[in-house]
Amino acid sequence: MSKYGKEILIGTVPVVIVFLYFLGVNIIPIVFMTVILGTFLYMNRARNGMGVGSDRKSRAAATPSYLTFDDIGGQERAKRELKEALDFLIRYDDIKRLGIRPLKGMLLTGPPGTGKTLMAKASAHYTNSIFLAASGSEFVEMYVGVGASRVRDLFKEARTRAQKENKDSAIIFIDEIDVIGGKRDGGQQKEYDQTLNQLLTEMDGIHTSESPRVLIMAATNRKEMLDSALLRPGRFDRHIEVDLPDKKARLHILNIHAKNKPMAEDVNLELIAQETFQFSGAQLESVMNEAAIYAMREELETIQQRHLSLAVDKVMLGEKTDRESTKEERDRVALHELGHAIVAERVRPGSVSQVSLSPRGKALGFVRHNPQSDQYLYTKEQIEEQIMIALGGSVAEEMFYGGRSTGSRNDFEQSLQMVRTMMDSGLTRLGIIDRSMVTKQELMKENGAILEDLTGRTRELLELHRPVFEQSLEILIAEEVLSGEQFRQLLAQHSKVEQIA
Ligand code: ADP
């Protein structure tokens, strides 16, 4: 009704006036009053819609602000800490009585897609506040002073909207705060400095007695990059960490996003939660969405388990592509993937769930591993095994073709990352070090030695399994996929042959 109210009013008022005129009523005072009222309403609207506030307002209106903490999966600790802090805003009288400094800024830190924006929205609902959102990059302009004036407008808009909607408080959410709040080292653009200064000035201008009260929530993935002036007491002095969800939290998030979707009765979301280690909330939402799209493509009424599995693959590896590859390429990719799979199955029996030759995203083939339980701590042996699995592809190519290809680039990136983790954790011959303590040459030497040793061990292991490569290759080329079971049977047969011999 409110959406069309204006149109209905504009339509009916002239008709009523004309009708009254024909009845012989003196309409001059009525016309006069209508014009005054119309002018007043128009001016009021123009004032509120002025400047940068208008587009942000439409965005805030489009995203429902009635989101609650129950709509956020997992993150129990973050939610609890947040609610405790928000109670400061609600228990206004106690705060005043005890002379407590008002809470002005809260910083949410954590990887992208973990629900920081959701938390800010839920906070607005929890405290019955106005919600306004902006992103750090919106303040970056070529012209000096524009960013600063945008900050000013944002605070002004928060206050006027809160007053208009009769609310006691307003929450301003600034995503990517690091864009404007990065460390000031003098070399930065003046524009950034002015914007940040304006933000600090606005924050300093917030008082306990003020009504409406303004709370700023900011999000970043790089807290260490922020200028210390921002983190000082009285500014962003409450820090809440938002982490990637663990298995229980992933299940919770999946259930939240399954609520509006028809799921088949035998769907087991727990299995999906187990398979999605290190997925963010946004990725899990995407899994549910993609699964629904697969169900729609098949014209089915409900979402099946296989749609969910396909969706996990898609979110993890990208969409299947129709890339045509040559026979040589396919053979090479097949041997490469078998290299990974054989090492994986040998160091962690039962871990391979599928070897596939269908191209996905940038990969031409992939090995799907069975879900393991969440692990946050690794021993030296476990990391070495992981590196050997990654190296298995290139070693297999060397065994059969005498050289490597560009297909191992990603594997090497992973291996180097893992070697770095070993070094930083004191798991190498360098001992417990800080990287700045050793020269680049020493690091390179140790890195080379580790990778050479592990490449050698991987080669020894794979050489023992040459016949498995040959048999699996045939099936893989013919059928494009080799299930974990088929693969294990081939490995077991080969081991028996070996024992008899
Ligand atoms: P961030 O601000 O941390 O980058 P968002 O809050 O914008 O992440 O999350 C993006 C989307 O991901 C949300 O709209 C929601 O669909 C989904 N999402 C992320 N985390 C969660 C969660 N904990 N519970 C439910 N959905 C989530």
Taking the centre of ligand 1 as the mean of its atom positions, its distance from the CA of residue 114, in whole angstroms, is 5
C-alpha of 354 from chain center: 27
Residue nearest (by alpha carbon) to ligand 1 atom 17: 282
| 64-241 belongs to CATH 3.40.50.150 | no
Q: Which of 59, 79, 118 to mutate to test the pocket of ligand 1 (most atoms within 8 A of CB)?
A: 118
Annotation marks residue 397 as catalytic: no
Residue nearest (by alpha carbon) to ligand 1 atom 8: 113
Of residues 266, 274, 269, the one with CA closest to residue 288: 269
Say whether the peptide bond before residue 64 is cis (omega within 30 degrees of 0).
Answer: no
Any alpha helices (H) in 353-408, and if so which ranges? 380-401
Taking the centre of ligand 1 as the mean of its atom positions, its distance from the CA of residue 127, in whole angstroms, is 20
Residue nearest (by alpha carbon) to ligand 1 atom 12: 282
Ligand 1 atom nearest to 118, measured from its CA: 6
**Ordered DSSP codes for 213-224:** EEEEEEEES-GG
Phi, psi of 259 (to 5 degrees): -55, -40
The answer to which of 64-68, 73-77, 468-472 has the lowest mean pLDDT is 64-68
Q: Which fold has domain 327-500?
A: Methane Monooxygenase Hydroxylase; Chain G, domain 1 (1.20.58)
pLDDT digits (tens, 9 = 90+) for 392-439: 999 999 999 999 999 899 999 999 999 999 999 999 999 999 888 899
pLDDT digits (tens, 9 = 90+) for 470-484: 989 999 988 888 988
Residue nearest (by alpha carbon) to ligand 1 atom 6: 115
Taking the centre of ligand 1 as the mean of its atom positions, its distance from the CA of residue 113, in whole angstroms, is 5
Token look-up 């799907």 returns 368
Pocket of ligand 1 (CB under 6 A): 72-75, 112-118, 219, 253, 256, 281-282, 285
Taking the centre of ligand 1 as the mean of its atom positions, its distance from the CA of residue 73, in whole angstroms, is 9
Under DSSP, the state recorded for 435 is: G
Residue nearest (by alpha carbon) to ligand 1 atom 5: 115
CATH, domain 250-317, list 3.40.50.720, 1.10.10.60, 1.10.8.60, 1.10.3720.10? 1.10.8.60
Q: Exposure of 462 by Cβ count < 10 A (0-12 exposed, 13-18 middle, 19+ buried)?
A: buried
Q: What is the pLDDT of residue 165?
A: 92
How are the residues of the chain apportioned to helix, strand and coil, as percentages rounded to the nearest 5? 60, 10, 30
Ligand 1 atom nearest to 115, measured from its CA: 6
- Predicted confidence band of residue 205 (pLDDT cuts 50, 70, 90): confident
Of residues 481, 487, 455, the one with CA closest to residue 469: 487
The ranges assigned to domains in the chain are 3-49, 64-241, 250-317, 327-500
pLDDT digits (tens, 9 = 90+) for 14-63: 787 788 788 777 878 877 887 787 676 656 554 444 333 334 433 443 44
CA distance 353 to 432: 37
pTM for this prediction: 0.74
Taking the centre of ligand 1 as the mean of its atom positions, its distance from the CA of residue 179, in whole angstroms, is 21
Taking the centre of ligand 1 as the mean of its atom positions, its distance from the CA of residue 117, in whole angstroms, is 7
Token look-up 């993937």 returns 337
CA distance 354 to 97: 65
Taking the centre of ligand 1 as the mean of its atom positions, its distance from the CA of residue 244, in whole angstroms, is 11
Half-sphere exposure (Cβ direction) of 338: Cα atoms closer than 13 Å: 34
Residue nearest (by alpha carbon) to ligand 1 atom 15: 282
On whether the CB atoms of residues 355 and 421 are closer than 8 A, the answer is: no
Ligand 1 atom nearest to 74, measured from its CA: 23
The answer to which of 77-86, 90-99, 442-451 has the lowest mean pLDDT is 90-99
Q: Which of 114, 116, 252 to mutate to test the pocket of ligand 1 (most atoms within 8 A of CB)?
A: 114
Q: Do domains 64-241 and 327-500 have the same CATH topology?
A: no
The answer to which of 74-83, 351-360, 403-412 has the lowest mean pLDDT is 351-360
Q: Which of 138, 202, 275, 337 is catalytic?
A: 337
Q: Which of 63, 285, 287, 288 to mutate to test the pocket of ligand 1 (most atoms within 8 A of CB)?
A: 285
Q: Mean pLDDT of all residues in the chain?
A: 85
Collect all residues with Cβ–Cβ distance below 8 Å to 113 and sequence separation of at least 6: 280, 281, 282, 283
CA distance 118 to 124: 10
Q: What is the pLDDT of residue 19?
A: 81
